[in-house]
A and B are shown apart, each in its own frame.
Chain A
């Protein structure tokens, strides 16, 4: 069973701080990695995609990928109370990894940004 693991939190950071969210995955053949933000009672919203090792920045968000360590992270700079949500890490499983290329989600990390 291919898995995506996240610390469930809650992760609490003060407004203006950097929030660091981490994710590990078990399928070495995975090639695509995503971060979704989900507000309570709402659907997941795609905020970052990353496909290559290294960093990818988009505004206040930076995704980091290390395929050798099977690790992906999301950094949120200058955290705002509006960033308070659950962040889901999602990994495309490889076709030969038993997941038929489907998106495998972690259970999410709940982030709380305190004013």
Chain B
């Protein structure tokens, strides 16, 4: 089945220690998104890639970076995690930007000690 895969599912890191989360997709979608979701809150868009074009949300901290080496893979790098970065990180894909449906991966739960 076509799907969105995220690894790891659970990540524990120390304050200030860089961490990388990965996302892969077999849907062959053009757009990949990274969201941050904290408890009882709506998912918050961090950035997205439309093919190779990177689109950063204005309020995404510089501490968060992303890479998309090819169509299938996208990475979220947190350069110096703070306690406030503990959250569920969701990867999603859509065929095109705009009005298409977005499909989410299972998420990575990040804990910062």
Contacts and interface: CB of A to CB of B under 8 A. Distances in A.
Given A95-B98, A103-B45, A107-B42, A43 B104 contact: yes
Interface residues of B, number: 22
B103 A42 contact: no
A102 interface: yes
A66 B109 CA distance: 36
A46 to B, nearest CB: 6
Contacts of A31: 99
A101 B105 contact: no
B102 A105 contact: no
- Main SS of the interface on chain B? loop
Interface string B94-110: 00011111111111010
Interface of A: 4, 31-32, 34, 36, 41-46, 49, 51, 88, 90, 92, 95, 100-103, 105-108
Interface of B: 40-43, 45, 48, 55, 57, 88, 90, 97-107, 109
